[in-house]
Amino acid sequence: MTAGGPLDGVRVLDLSKLAPGPHCTMILGDLGADVIRIEEPGPPTGRRAEQARAAGIKPVNVAAHMSSPYNALARNKRSIGLNLKSQPGKEIYMRLAQRADVVVEEFRPGVAERLGISYETISARNPRLIYCAITGYGQDGPYRDLVGHDLNYIATAGALSIIGRPNQPPAIPHNLLADYAGGGMHAAIGILAALFARHQTGRGQYVDVAMLDGTMLLLAQAFSGYFASNRVLARGESPFDGGAPFFDAYLTKDDKYVTIASIEPWFFANLCRALGREDLVVMREDKSRYPEMRRAFEETFRQRTRDEWFELLSKTDVCVGRMLTLDEVEGDPQVKARRMVLELDTPGGDRVKQVGVSLKFSDTPGSVRRLAPQLGQHTDEILRELGYRDADIARWREQGALK
């Protein structure tokens, strides 16, 4: 496996389990960082595991999911099974942290302090460390201790209130906004900025990432409009939320959808001409005629298939796209050209597909250098790098401190 990428030489300790943290560290790993996943060596423990067992619920086997070769979130990472509640586990972790550049965790506020592995404790030994904590609501404020998931955060941020059709319940956009964009990607941005700051100051710092905050930043333009007008945007009212007929998805002859985003007047005029409906051009500025325009579009797009419309309209300077299902995306010529679906070899000789590396660099390209590791796959390797003897490793494994 060859090293490379713009983050070559950066070591990241990943204590996270759920979407935001693994997504963040996947990005860093794709860009060349040496990411070490620190995982519990046995069955899940702690208050949540006890509550699940008391309720007769089988705990989710996160480790099994993360180690699947199909799981892109765990790629480009090494795994060490480490019990942070054991004395050897804490000692090993502190030695790892002393040599690390970045720590990423998504504990509830206060948990790292109780475990004795907080930023204050580690930075006293490694002042260059960048410590990123990802939570739903942040490290302060009245909501800091609230449990939650993506849906709760996007609701509080205001995003959920503006997604959906008029007079309909809000549309839930999977868990893309808070978990991945507001959490994982914002965390990666924060870490990269802190690495740059360290280059200037020589010091690391604490990066507090709240998924609520990240989601609000995604809504910066929407809030700007509200702050300027004091007018609350309703679902389906914005041109970007289906409020305008020329920015919408239309059912085609083959019961698939074509998307039209001809919001600029010239693109709209091109669309009307291509559809043979130049009479609609004058309706663009008259919202009272939007229902009439929408009906005309609905009837027209039903006359051909999705791909026929794309073939026609993509040649006429119209903002058009096909709504592809997940099984169709990898066959799209643009996706192929950008290598956004990769086929990779597993150690067992099988082939698996994954989403490709999104950032393209001319000199230091990112890559997928290794697939998801098994829990503890690199424990011995990592401990030997830290200078531990095989006898100590074997003894700690017997004690349950390692896997």
Residues linked to residue 114 through DSSP beta bridges, in sequence order: none
Residue type, 59: P
Q: Which of 178, 212, 220, 206 is nearest to 118 (CA)?
A: 206
- Give the torsion through C-alpha atoms of 65, 66, 71, 75, to 10 deg: -170
Please indicate whether residue 149 is annotated as part of the active site: yes
Residue from 14, 30, 179, 241 carrying the catalytic annotation? 179
DSSP 8-state symbol, 288? G
Q: How far is residue 368's CA from residue 359's CA, in Å, rounded to a whole number?
A: 12
Residue 130 phi/psi, 5-degree rounding, is -105, 120
Residue with tokens 């006890």: 50
Residue type, 107: F
DSSP 8-state symbol, 233? P
Please indicate whether residue 65 is annotated as part of the active site: no
Q: Which residues contact 370 (CB under 8 A, 6 or more apart)?
A: 1, 75, 76, 77, 78
Residue 135 phi/psi, 5-degree rounding, is -140, 175
Q: Which of 115, 142, 113 is nearest to 206 (CA)?
A: 113
Residue type, 367: S
Q: Count how many Cα atoms sit within 13 Å of the Cα of residue 93 in the half-sphere of its side chain.
A: 28
Q: How far is CA 264 from CA 53, 225, 278, in A?
A: 57, 19, 15
| Residue 28 · residue 188 · CB < 8 Å | yes
Q: Which residues contact 66 (CB under 8 A, 6 or more apart)?
A: 17, 22, 37, 39, 73, 74, 372, 375
Q: How far is residue 95's CA from residue 139's CA, in Å, rounded to a whole number?
A: 26
Residues designated as active site: 149, 179
